[in-house]
Amino acid sequence: MKIPFHRADIGEEEIAEVIDSLKSGWLTTGPKVRKFENSFAEYIGGRFAVAVNSCTAGMHLALEAIGVSRGDAVIVPTLTFAATAEVVRYLGAEPVFVDCQQSDFNLDTEALDSVLSAAQGKGLNVKAIMPVHYGGQMVDMAAVSHFATQHGLQIVEDAAHCCPAGFRESSNAEWESVGARSVVAAFSFYANKTITTGEGGMAVTDDEDLAERMRIMSLHGMSRDAWKRYSGGTAHYDIVAPGFKYNMTDLAGAIGIRQLEKADRLHAERERLAGIYRELISDVEEVTSLVDQANRIHSRHLFVVKVNPQSSSRDRDEVAAFLKNKGIGTSIHWRPLHMQTYYRERYGFQDDDFPSAARAFDEMLTLPLYPGLRDEDIALVVDTVKQAVR
């Protein structure tokens, strides 16, 4: 590939921190993870952070901690990655899908009341809502929190794309960080995220009881992890619940410590590169970029465009294939869940049950965006897109 879809920004700092862990002899959950947790909580503005091996794990632990169980239901966008709905199914609960907005592909907040009414009409006990911040741009959390408060629902944020991110209700209001309006926000440190630990995630909350429950359940329901048992304490522990195996290793935590230190620099570079993309793509009538909503701090995790089927000489898949043949990596985020085999067969969905998401899937294409991408690389990507659509 001339220009791969993603390349992680890993420097000597991360390498040195990992080597320090290797030399220490402590590789699993320990002091590096604790330091990463404390630093990340401070960075996001939450009181407690629980490091886990994926954002999926963080969302699962969050739903379990707030009491979601068999017979309950959780509202999730259909335009999301598999994890958002599958964690609901892990607990025997039912996902209730909501369509997306065409402007930014975030969930349609104006549809929430009708979605809830329809779910309740089917006898479902809707207990929570899980907004997903598509591509790193936050959902209208003021609308989501108003809806949740009005109907007595808990909010768990799928913030896999958000570090950092923020919103405010108006230009005169105070900025609020991602996670400020939810009981738990779950973050991803997968290889292509804005900061990475290779694989990993974090659950952030202001509720001490929820944090303790998630911490215990992240490691088999054990009352004390290995670091607590072998760093000066007793080796005894108690199993207080049938938990999971979701802990983060110190090797991953070591990378996270150093990635977090440069998170603001990485974000600034993503912002700059996205600006170049937006300027160069603006005169390509066959392709449009998503709308930057007012009063948002966008993480710029993804740069997604829509290939207009009416004006482009090639459809989205053909454009992606054209770019691949020219050595440029792309991706698609995502096929909506209601169009996936499992959910279609279980719930009897048709593609047009959520028409906005179905249309989005036909048109969306994610272009390379990451620190280390050069200005001339972006110019080449856009020039190649022009060749493809014309």
Please give the full DSSP string across 253-293, using - where no structure is assigned.
Answer: HHHHHHHHHTHHHHHHHHHHHHHHHHHHHTT-TTEEEPP--
- Residue 244 counted as domain residue: yes
pLDDT of residue 226: 54
Q: Are residues 294 and 331 in the same domain?
A: yes
pLDDT of residue 230: 58
Query: What is the tens place of the pLDDT at every residue in 185-236?
Result: 999 999 999 999 999 999 999 999 999 999 999 999 998 765 565 566 667 7
Query: What is the tens place of the pLDDT at every residue in 67-97?
Result: 999 999 999 999 999 999 999 999 999 999 9
End of a domain among 222, 242, 263? 263
Token pair in block for residue 256:
């996270």
- β-pair partners for 126: 73
Q: Are residues 194 and 259 in the same domain?
A: yes
Q: Are 212 and 52 in contact (CB under 8 A)?
A: no
Q: What is the CATH number of the domain that holds 384?
A: 3.90.1150.10
pLDDT of residue 228: 65
End of a domain among 207, 230, 263? 263
Q: CB-side exposure of 173: number of CA atoms within 13 Å?
A: 12
Q: Are residues 93 and 217 in the same domain?
A: yes
Q: Are residues 235 and 358 in the same domain?
A: no
End of a domain among 208, 229, 263? 263
Active-site residue, selected from the candidate residues 32, 127, 193, 306: 193
Q: Are residues 355 and 230 in the same domain?
A: no
> Is 193 annotated in the active site?
yes
Q: Are residues 231 and 282 in the same domain?
A: no
DSSP-derived 3-state class of residue 307: strand
Q: Are residues 50 and 178 in the same domain?
A: yes
- Residue 3 counted as domain residue: no
pLDDT of residue 328: 98
| CA distances from residue 227 to 30, 249, 250, 337, 379 in whole angstroms, order as listed | 5, 11, 11, 39, 50
Q: Are 49 and 253 in contact (CB under 8 A)?
A: no
Split into its structural domains, the chain has a count of 2
Q: Are residues 19 and 117 in the same domain?
A: yes
Q: Are 333 and 302 in contact (CB under 8 A)?
A: yes
pTM of the model: 0.96
Q: CB-side exposure of 318: number of CA atoms within 13 Å?
A: 12
pLDDT of residue 238: 87
- Domain with 133, as residue range(s), is 12-263
- Residue 228 counted as domain residue: yes
